[in-house]
Amino acid sequence: MIALIDYGAGNLTSVRKGFAAAGADVVTPSSPTDLASVTGIVVPGVGHFASTRALDGPWRQAILEALNRGAFLFGICLGQQWLFEGSDEEPDLAGLGVLRGRCRRLPPTLKVPHVGWNALEMRRPSRLLAGVPPGTQAYFTHSYAADVTDDTVAVTTHAAPFASVVERAQVFGVQFHPEKSGEAGVQMIRNFVAVCSPNA
């Protein structure tokens, strides 16, 4: 079972439809204790990093415990940013910290926010990007993005390169919206669902 966390940041309808297209039903847990039996957790999100304050406390604890017992985690957009140590958008608020690095504002040399379709430059093989051709474009809408680190599997450039897809052990993240990135996006969701499947 895959849980989609509703912490009041964004429209879950689209993400749920994306998972439905990938052949998976997601549940929206009402309490952190509901994460005890899930195999996958999706943290979506749009908007300001301050919204992730709602994930502090019991949710953070339950997500870390789920990771410890082998569950998989998928951060989308703001959800990916939260996987890191923090963001300059809300410097005093810590992220989940399962990935090293910070999120910073995109350089002002081009228009910010970065809105629209941009290419994914694959850096290394990735379970999330299986079957997704290099140079595939995905739909972005954001002003902050994570540093490029060893966990970066794809880079996108808007004035400067940033981590558009990250993957480390059970942790996956994308800065764009796979649920709005056409068939390639649905393929990525399908890949995450497959990773979470106990028989995979």
Partner 1 sequence: MLSKRLIACLDVRNGCVVKGIQFEGLRNAGDPAALARRYNVEGIDELVILDVTATLESRQALADTIRAVSRELFIPLAVGGGIRAPEDAEAAIDAGADKVSVNSAALTDPSLITRLAGRYGSQAVVVAIDAKRRDGTFAVFSRSGSTAAGRQAVEWAREAEARGAGEILLTSMDRDGTRAGFDCELTAAVSTAVSIPVIASGGAGTFEHFLDVFTTGRADAALAASVFHYSEHAVSELKAFLAERSIPVRRTA
Applying CB under 8 A, which of residues 1, 47, 90, 161 lies at the interface with partner 1?
Answer: 47
Residue closer to partner 1 (CB basis): 57 or 182? 182
What does residue 150 show for φ and ψ, rounded to 5 degrees? -65, -20
DSSP state at residue 114: E
CB 174 within 8 A of CB 155: no
Binding flag, residue 113, partner 1 (CB under 8 A): yes
Task: Tell which one of 158, 163, 191, 195 touches partner 1 (CB under 8 A).
Answer: 158
One-letter amino acid for residue 106 of the chain: L
Question: Would you count residue 180 as binding partner 1 (CB under 8 A)?
Answer: yes
SS3 24: coil
Helix (H, G, I), strand (E, B) or coil at 30: coil
Q: Using alpha carbons only, what angle is made at residue 191 by residues 153 and 193, rounded to the nearest 5 degrees? A: 130
Quote the least distance from Cβ 99 to partner 1, whole Å. 23
Q: Which residues contact partner 1 (rule: CB under 8 A)?
A: 9-11, 13-14, 17-18, 21, 46-48, 108, 110-119, 133, 137, 139, 141-142, 157-158, 179-183, 185-186
